[in-house]
Structure 1
Amino acid sequence: MRSAKLLTAAGLLASASLVLAGCSAPAPENVELRMTVWTANEDQLALFDTIADEYIAEHPEVKSITFDPLPFEDYTTTLTTQIAGGKAPDLAWILENAAPDFVSSGALADIEETLEGTEGYEFDDLNDAATALWVKDDKLIAYPFSTSPFVVFANDDLLAEAGLPSSAEIKASGWDWEAVAEAGATVNAKTGKAGFVIRDFDYTTWDNLASVWMGWGAKPWSEDGATCEFDSTEMADAFEFLHTAAFEQKSMPGPGTTADFFAGEAAFTVTQISRASLLAEGGYTWNLLPLPEGPEGEYSMVGQAGIGVMKQGKNAEVAAQFLAFFSNPENSERLAQWFPPARDSQLNSDTLAAANPVLSAEQIEDVVVPGIATGVTRPSHTDSAEIGQTVRAALDAIWTADADIPAVLADVCTAIDPLLEK
């Protein structure tokens, strides 16, 4: 059996040999659509179902629309396995780190004509920066349904317990990574709780560390993806900071140690704004701040996902029409409570505050809107699964107390150079 982890763009293209039905095809009946997602959140799925029911009520040819949650950890692998096995969904969420494979492969149907031609869709309202990752040959082939900035949540009660100023006061005196690390070290020493946590990193999901290393001006590879840059001075300095935080300052949980900010176990966490709904679980005073400055100054990063229509799906044309409904202005505004929209007209405090009542208008205006408008996505590359696994394995050597950081990063480049050259 062919491993989905080794699927390349060419493999996806071969799996997606079917094309949209021509105009002469008979009108579809009793259509059953399936869309893969990685959320199992009951509230989110309930909203999806509501939108689907509204669509079905107006389109009797559609019998059902099913949202199929797949585990996040293996999402792309499972999706590509389904495609390779001839069981592709009609629509699918696609992570930004897998976008180059899906966009370049031909696995996705061109949706631009359908979206543009849908009455009331307001296609020109889609933000250029948000759509950039999902364009092929100047045509949009996936809709950027979620553009969620990475931010810092702070637990002011835990800072006070450690005898520190509030997060707002810390920010006012100089909001950079050194300030976060120093405060985090004090929190750990005084309370035994964690200082700062890069959520979902857990010493495995290395590309989440881009939320830190971007502050040093570091990149994993060149803009064209052909040259490894893990061995740059900027990347070494960023990893020196993280290594010191974990092994010397104890401001960041070390390998094998976990801490959940939303359960009150850490003073700061770096995560996406879409996690704000978890704040209700904490019972503490919290604050929202932008990413701290690094040596290169201010920066923003977004996590993004697109919704694509699979050419190999049985009902690609109907699926594209449903996507136009799912992502129209009205539904985009409803979805904004969890998935920040890609529409310029909705990137404002009024829309986002209404959808995110847990956040203040000031927090949205000062942190969320600028983060979406200026943020860049995490690193991505074709053959993302193989490159990701290779980088992760090579980086394991850096997470020991006596690691030779420049040497380890040079080894990362040695390991991935053949993959980048493909």
Structure 2
Amino acid sequence: MKKTTIGGLGLGLALSLSLAGCAGQTAPTADSIEVGPATGTLSYESWTPTEATFDTIIEGFTAENPDVELTGTLAPLEDYQTSLQTQLRSGSGPDVFVVSPGAMYNQYREYFEPLDAYAEAFDGEDWADIFNQDALDRAQTDGATFGLPVGYGVAGFLWVNKTLLAEAGVEVPTTYDELVAASEELKAAGIQPIALGGKDAWMNIDYFLAIAASIDKDALYAALEGEGEWTDPALVEAFEIWSGLFTDGVVQDGAIGAATYSDTYDLFTEGKAAFFANGSWNLDMYVNSLDRIAAYDIDAIAMPLPGVDGGAPITGDVSGIVVVNKASKNKGAAYQLASYMSRGEGAQVLLDAFLDFPVTNDGKTPTTAPEESQTARASIETLIETKLAGYRQVPLASVSEALSAALAGVATGDVTGEEAAQRVQDAADNG
């Protein structure tokens, strides 16, 4: 049986379970877990995937487990987070839900069921070997596994429309000076340079992390982990280079007020901008906007930056982490759904829907990717192999919020690099 609902999430959802019933229970061992097809009722909530894609997940999972009744509720991310927080704090909530790595994972981890015993029971002692370890690490804390990763994407590079560049007589830039010069020529030809959705905090953070990693990756990740200072000279310099993207005119006018979806997405797919700041998930434009971009030669390149040979590094992370609610009364079935979506046939459904990169080592690739996407996808794979600096999600929500505000202030010229760094450090110090 399948049922997916879309919209705001109420509190009177199926399987609102009390944590009190779990109090005092000892953690299961692999030997104590009953292995077999999933049965009973099972609920899932998230902001992702789409209704149509999750209906396909339900159909596949219930075909493998005909005695389970799986329902799904999807809502916009902010609505989902608000409702999820309320439910979990009251000891209820869905059996299975999704969190982002980093801040969201850390915020809700106390509500996650540890999954190592379930994984060993259902998938064997070597269950972890199928996963890319970097992806699995994002769902682990202190050696324990609290969820299973789904999808992998990278950010911090530039999409480039080579057709527009050629028509304007501009070479693909490989240095920052070349990027500045190219931007001037493009504007003179009526073409925007980098289309950057600076209204989106996540977008600004993605490109700041790439800039910072190009200067001193160790300093960046030490600060992210709370082991270093955001006032490190390398990170102050990163804020100043971020400012330069705006003062040097390599991003479109009004970038800080533009949204990625759909302001800058439309600029790029409609052939009005030569470059686009967005991550690998933008491969879905070959599905959703192929009619717009089919005539263009589009590729992906490392972002040229001052003093960086070969362009900036990139950052990457899993798209989500599927977790089992600690309060669930059907944890075995819940684990099976998480596994189905992360490493089973459901993972293939998600890859085909989002054109992500796999989190497993079994060679899964999208089966529906249009031929036109292959050049860019191959370039992104090369960037992953040669340019990956580390993860892209900021671990602490307070630091992420402060970094977002600081980057916006620097972009508008209201905040200096030193002031921005100090504001983020203040947030880190205050937790």
Structure 2 length-normalised TM: 0.75
Q: Is the 8 A contact 1:229 1:413 kept in 2?
A: yes
- Secondary structure (helix, strand or coil) at the match of 1:343 reads coil
Give CA-to-partner distance per residue, 1:222-250, whole Å, 9 cap, x none.
26733563323222333222322213425
Structure 2, unmatched stretches of 5+, are 1-18
Partners of 1:353 and 1:364 within 8 A in 2: no
**Aligned residue number for residue 207 of structure 1:** 205
Query: Is residue 186 from structure 1 mapped to residue 196 from structure 2 by the alignment?
Result: no
Partner of 1:145: 150
Deviations 1:253-280 (A, max 9, x none): 4322453223434221232222212242
Distance 1:91 1:83 in 2: 12
1:379 is displaced (CA, Å) by 4.1
- 1:282 matched to 2:253? The reply is no
**C-alpha RMSD of matched pairs (Å):** 3.6
Preserved CA contact (<8 Å) 1:194 1:259: no
CA distance in structure 2 between the aligned counterparts of 1:75 and 1:197, rounded to whole angstroms: 29
Residue 256 of structure 2: SS of its match in structure 1?
coil
Matched, 1:416 2:428: yes
1:326 is aligned to 341
Map residues 267-306 of structure 1 onto 2, 5 A cutoff: 267-279=274-286, 280=290, 282-283=292-293, 284-292=295-303, 294=305, 295=307, 297=309, 299-304=313-318, 305-306=320-321
Structure 1 residues 391 and 241: alpha-carbon distance in aligned structure 2, compared to 1, 3 A threshold: closer
Matched, 1:134 2:139: yes
**1:340 aligned residue (357, 373, 376):** 357
Query: How has the CA–CA distance of structure 1 residues 15 and 302 changed in structure 2, closer, same or farther, with 3 Å as cutoff?
Result: farther
Write the distance in 2 (CA, Å) between the matches of 1:208 and 1:353.
24
SS of 2:357 mapped into structure 1: coil
Tell me which of 106, 116, 120 is aligned to 1:112.
116
**Alignment CA distance shift 1:55-1:74 (3 Å):** closer
Pair 157,292 (structure 1): closer, same or farther in 2 beyond 3 Å:
same
* Amino acid aligned to 2:332: E
Give the whole-Å Cα distance in 1 for the aligned partners of 2:279 and 2:407.
24
TM-score (normalised: structure 1)? 0.77
- Aligned residue identity for 1:328: R
Q: Which of 376, 387, 391 does residue 390 from structure 2 map onto?
A: 376
Report matched runs for 1:9-408 at 5 Å.
Answer: 31-39=40-48, 41=50, 45-66=51-72, 68-73=73-78, 75-98=80-103, 101=106, 105-118=109-122, 123-150=128-155, 151-165=157-171, 170=172, 174=174, 176-191=175-190, 193-199=191-197, 201-202=198-199, 204-205=201-202, 206-209=204-207, 210-217=209-216, 222=222, 225-227=225-227, 229-249=229-249, 251-253=251-253, 254-257=255-258, 258-260=263-265, 261-279=268-286, 280=290, 282-283=292-293, 284-292=295-303, 294=305, 295=307, 297=309, 299-304=313-318, 305-337=320-352, 338=354, 339-346=356-363, 351-352=364-365, 354-358=367-371, 361=374, 363-368=376-381, 370-371=383-384, 374=388, 376-381=390-395, 384-401=396-413, 403-408=415-420
Give the Cα–Cα distance (whole angstroms) in 2 for the partners of residues 326 and 194 of structure 1: 40
Residue identity in the other structure for 1:195: P
Change (3 A) 1:75 1:207: farther
Amino acid at match of 1:93: V
Q: Write the deviation string for residues 320-375 of structure 1: whole angstroms up to 9, x where unpaired.
A: 022223333444334323232111232xxxx5364423455554444226517845
Q: CA deviation at 1:75?
A: 4.8
Q: Compute the displacement of 1:126 (Å).
A: 0.8
Per-residue deviation, 1:314 = 3.8
Given that 2:195 and 2:264 are in contact with CA atoms closer than 8 Å, whether structure 1 keeps it comes out as yes
Mapped partners of 1:131, 1:24: distance in 2: 22
Q: How many residues align?
A: 385
- Does the 8 A contact of 2:38 with 2:336 survive in 1? no
**Matches of 2:178 and 2:345, distance apart in 1:** 42
The residue type equivalent to 2:326 in the other structure is K
Shift of 1:131: 1.0
Match for residue 8 of structure 1? none
Query: Deviations for 1:401-422, whole angstroms, at most 9, x for unmatched residues?
Result: 4643223322332343221xxx
Tell me how far 1:287 sits from its aligned partner.
1.9
Which secondary structure state, in structure 2, belongs to the residue aligned with residue 288 of structure 1? strand
Sequence identity, in percent? Answer: 19
**What corresponds to 1:10 in structure 2?**
none
Contact 1:273–1:368 (CA under 8 A) maintained in structure 2 = no
1:221–1:229 CA contact under 8 A, matched in 2:
no
- Pairwise CA distance, 1:396: 4.1
Greater Cα shift, 109-118 or 221-230: 221-230
User: What is the distance in 2 between the residues matched to 1:24 and 1:345?
Assistant: 26
Greater shift, 261-270 or 314-323, is seen at: 261-270
Structure 1: unaligned runs, 5 residues or longer: 1-13
Partners in 1 of 2:308 and 2:245 — Cα distance?
19
The corresponding residue for 1:5 is none
The answer as to whether partners of 1:184 and 1:252 remain within 8 angstroms in 2 is no
1-structure distance, mates of 2:223, 2:230: 13
